[in-house]
Amino acid sequence: MIKLNSLQYPKVLELNFNDEITMHPLKSNDLIEKRIKDFSLKFGFKNLKTFSFSKEGVLTLMLTLMSDKKGKILVSLGESEVIIEAAKTYKDLGFDLEFIPLTRQGHLDYEKISKCELIFASSYIMDTYVKVDLEKVKNLSNAKLISNISATLEVGFSDMVFLDSYKLAGYAIDSILLFNDELEESVTSQINTVSIFQVQKAIANFTKKTDYKSFFMERLNAEFNDNIFYFVQPKECLDYTLHFGLKGIKAREIIRTLALDSILVTNGEGCSLGLSKPSRILQEMGYEELESRWALSLSFSDDLDEETITKVVKTIAKKYRQIVALNS
């Protein structure tokens, strides 16, 4: 199997726990508390909470963070669908929130960033993987910056970060929010220790390969010529990712047929899920729904030699030609 979708669908590690890392009301939980504290310190934070990475969970987070403040929240339209839906509900409730649009080239529109209290912006745009200059975001907004670091594990200029357990570990368990003084510290009994330990294992197995992206793109260009379309510049994306479109077909058609040859790709992240929905991100950039359905996303986590890459690209091209012929 050749897995080119590990950023969206990680290798699922077995849920395997023992009594030492299980909380008990009648015994010392020092070991668990130490592991929780060590996890926070690994990323340079003092505290953590676990929370449901859902519309309701993120909305609760927004309301809690702004409970004693009157300022504005800014939310990048390049964030995951969960955050966007929570932000829409927050705004519908009458609170001050604005969205930061995306440019046609796929960048965050920095000119639309104004002073605010809190800003949700991650180090890359979902689906396309275009990198975001968080230092610039921070300077323009002068706000507390909260970011999803699940694809990079890099804190950078963020004041608070969260780790999406589904993206990292493949389980719909609680996600993890890391912070310093912005929220009250959780007591140990309120922390989902299963999430902590499973995400720890996922991070230990987190890999990204950056050495063959250029060759992969070279082979794609040679096979597809005018039938390949780059919505964004590959050099501006995360170094272990590639985003492009194959003209004239729907991504889900080639995703399914490639899976029969044990080649796993996707058409985006949480808002697309590799199935029927076109990328919301591309539509935010100004592309039509039909064009957005061309999109494919690759993430590189395994060792692949040039012979294997050439074989994979030729298989993609063969499947593409078959789908075009069947659709004509």
CATH number at residue 300: 3.90.1150.10
268 and 297 in contact (C-beta within 8 Å)? Answer: yes
pLDDT > 70? residue 274:
no
With cut-offs at 50, 70 and 90, classify the pLDDT of residue 272. very low
Residues 6+ apart with CB under 8 A from 23: 29, 32, 188, 189, 193
Q: Are strands 144-148 and 118-120 parallel, antiparallel or unpaired?
A: parallel
Residues 268 and 96: their CA atoms lie apart, in Å, by 30
Q: How many domains are there within the chain? A: 2
Q: Give the span between the Cα atoms of 262 and 285, in whole angstroms.
A: 32
> Strand pairing of 263-264 and 2-3?
parallel
Q: What is the rounded average pLDDT for all residues in the chain?
A: 90
- Note the pLDDT tens digit of each residue in 28-60: 677 788 888 888 999 999 999 999 999 999 999
Q: What does the block give as tokens for 174?
A: 């609680």
292: in domain: yes
Same domain for 190 and 41: yes
Question: Coil, strand or helix: which one is 321?
Answer: helix
Lowest mean pLDDT across 79-88, 166-175, 232-241: 166-175
1 located within any domain: no
- Say whether both 182 and 303 belong to one domain: no
> Is the same domain home to 187 and 230?
no
Whose tokens are 């745009």? That residue is 125
How far is the C-alpha of 124 from the C-alpha of 290, rounded, in Å?
24
Q: What is the pLDDT of residues 289-326, one digit of tens each?
A: 999 999 999 999 999 999 999 999 999 999 999 999 98
Burial class (CB in 10 A: 0-12, 13-18, 19+), 326: exposed
139 contacts 126 by C-beta, under 8 angstroms: no
Domain that holds residue 200: 19-204
Whether residues 150 and 77 fall in one domain: yes
Q: Is the pLDDT of residue 279 over 70?
A: yes
Distance CA 297, CA 127 (A): 7
**Per-residue confidence (pLDDT) for residue 35, from 0 to 100:** 83
Where residue 132 sits, what CATH number does that domain have? 3.40.640.10
Q: How confident is the model at residue 271 (pLDDT cuts 50, 70, 90)?
A: very low
CB 255 within 8 A of CB 300: no
pLDDT given for residue 193 in this prediction: 84
Q: Two tokens at 309?
A: 């890459």
High-pLDDT (> 90) share of the chain, %: 71
Residue 266 falls inside a structural domain = yes
Are 48 and 36 in contact by the 8 Å Cβ rule? The answer is yes
**pLDDT average, residue stretch 66-87:** 93
User: Residue 152 above 80 pLDDT?
Assistant: yes
pTM over 0.85: yes
- Do 36 and 169 reside in the same domain of the chain? yes
pLDDT value of position 9 = 80
Give yes or no: residues 35 and 175 share one domain. yes
